Amino acid sequence: MKNKAKIVIWIITAIILVLVSVGVVLGLRSGILSSQDAFEEFIEGCGVFAPLVFVVIETLSVVILILPCALGYPVSVAAFGPFWGFILNAVSTVLGSIIIFLIVRIWGKPLVDALVSKKNFTKYEKFINRTPLFEKLLAIMLLLPFFPDNMLCYIAGLTKMEYKRFCAIVVLFKPWKILFYTYGSQFFLDKFGHLWAQVINTINL
């Protein structure tokens, strides 16, 4: 029964990954996942479902490392304001990190090899069998901006870290970085938004 359950989980996970891949390709081709303006226009066009749609897309951007996570921060501020933008970004990134951990526990190293470059994996491979040290490293990179924390969540799935321990670290440390990014986006839009709009208009002309 356990083997059958594992097979079912693998099949379901494979189907989800295929659907996600198709969605990512369509999103990139349409510009939604590669253009801030297109993404913002798409979100605002979703009406009352806009927060849910944003959470789904932003969660996928965390799980699929090839997508630009930073695209969501200015869009969330413009569409929902800094407070709700922060809440939605925090929910998305925490949820995405937990999904990463779970799918790596199911698929193992082949999935990590497919999504994490060999250079980056080699850099942190030495921490895999040193779980207490890796937990401290993960907490620091989740807290500080401009560090590859999503990539480390993939590697975390290969360690012996307990699921509850991983969730606690993500929930406690990651929102602070999201707070910085979200309000940083608000500051940028307030100070330089009009200049950026003029640049875009000039390019379009």
pLDDT tens across 157-198, in order?
888 898 899 999 999 999 888 888 877 766 655 655 544 444
Tell me which H or E stretch contains 52: helix 50-63
For residue 16, pLDDT beyond 80: no
Cβ pair 32, 42 in contact under 8 A: yes
In which domain, by residue range, is 191 found? 2-204
* C-beta separation of 169 from 138 below 8 A: yes
What pLDDT, on a 0 to 100 scale, did the predictor assign at position 33?
Answer: 58
Instruction: Give the span between the Cα atoms of 76 and 80, in whole angstroms.
Output: 6
Locate tokens 């309000």: which residue? 183
What total of structural domains would you count in the chain? 1
Q: What is the DSSP letter of 68?
A: -
> Pick the residue with more confidence: 164 or 42?
164
Q: Quote the CA–CA distance of 99 and 46 in Å, as a whole number.
A: 25
Q: CB within 8 A of 163, min separation 6: which ones?
A: 101, 102, 105
Residue-wise pLDDT for 26-40, tens only, equals 555 666 655 667 777
The torsion angles phi and psi of 68, rounded to 5 degrees, stand at: -80, 100
